[in-house]
Amino acid sequence: MKAARLHEYHKPLVLEDIPVPDIQPDEILVKVKACGMCRSDVQLVDGYFYRYADTPRPIIPGHEITGVVHAIGSFVPKASGFAEGDHVVVSPGWGDGTCRHCQMGNTHICANVRWPGFGPYGGFSEYLPVPARYLIKVGKSLKFEELAPLTDAGLTPYRGIKKLRDAGALGPDRVLGILGVGGLGAYAVQYAKLLGSGAQVVALARNADKLAVATEYGADHVISIKGKSSGDVAKELKKATGQGELDAVIDCAGAPEMMQLGFSLLSISGHYVDVGLVGDSIDIPLFPRVSREQTFHGSFWGNYNDLAEVMALAAAGKIRHTLKTIRFEEINEYLDRLRTGEIVGRAVVTFD
Q: Which of 124, 144, 187, 301 binds ligand FEH (CB under 6 A)?
A: 301
Instruction: Determine if 213 is a binding residue for Zn ion (CB under 5 A).
Output: no
Return the number of the residue (73 or 254) whose C-beta is nearest ligand FEH: 254
Q: Which of 125, 151, 156, 322 binds ligand FEH (CB under 6 A)?
A: 156
What is the DSSP-derived secondary structure letter of residue 60?
Answer: B
| Nearest in space to 264 (alpha carbons), one of 235, 239, 240 | 235
Q: How far is the CB of 36 from Zn ion (least distance, A)?
A: 8
Q: Which of 86, 152, 220, 306 binds ligand FEH (CB under 6 A)?
A: 152
**Binding partner at 267 among Zn ion, ligand FEH, none, C-beta below 5 to 8 Å by kind:** none
> By rule CB under 5 A, what string of x and - marks binding of each residue 6-45 to Zn ion?
--------------------------------x-x-----
**Could you give the CA distance from residue 116 to residue 14 in angstroms, rounded to a whole number?**
18
> What ranges make up the beta strands (E) of 198-350?
200-205, 221-224, 246-251, 266-274, 295-298, 323-326, 346-350
CB atoms within 10 A of CB 12: 15
> What ranges make up the beta strands (E) of the chain?
2-5, 14-17, 27-37, 64-72, 87-90, 127-131, 135-138, 175-179, 200-205, 221-224, 246-251, 266-274, 295-298, 323-326, 346-350
Q: Which of 115, 121, 144, 187 binds ligand FEH (CB under 6 A)?
A: 115
Q: How far is the CB of 93 from Zn ion (least distance, A)?
A: 12
For residue 326, the cross-strand partners are 349
Residues from 124 through 153 that contact Zn ion (CB under 5 A)? 152
Return the number of the residue (176 or 277) whose C-beta is nearest ligand FEH: 277
Q: Which residues bind ligand FEH (CB under 6 A)?
A: 38, 40, 63, 115, 152, 156, 277, 301
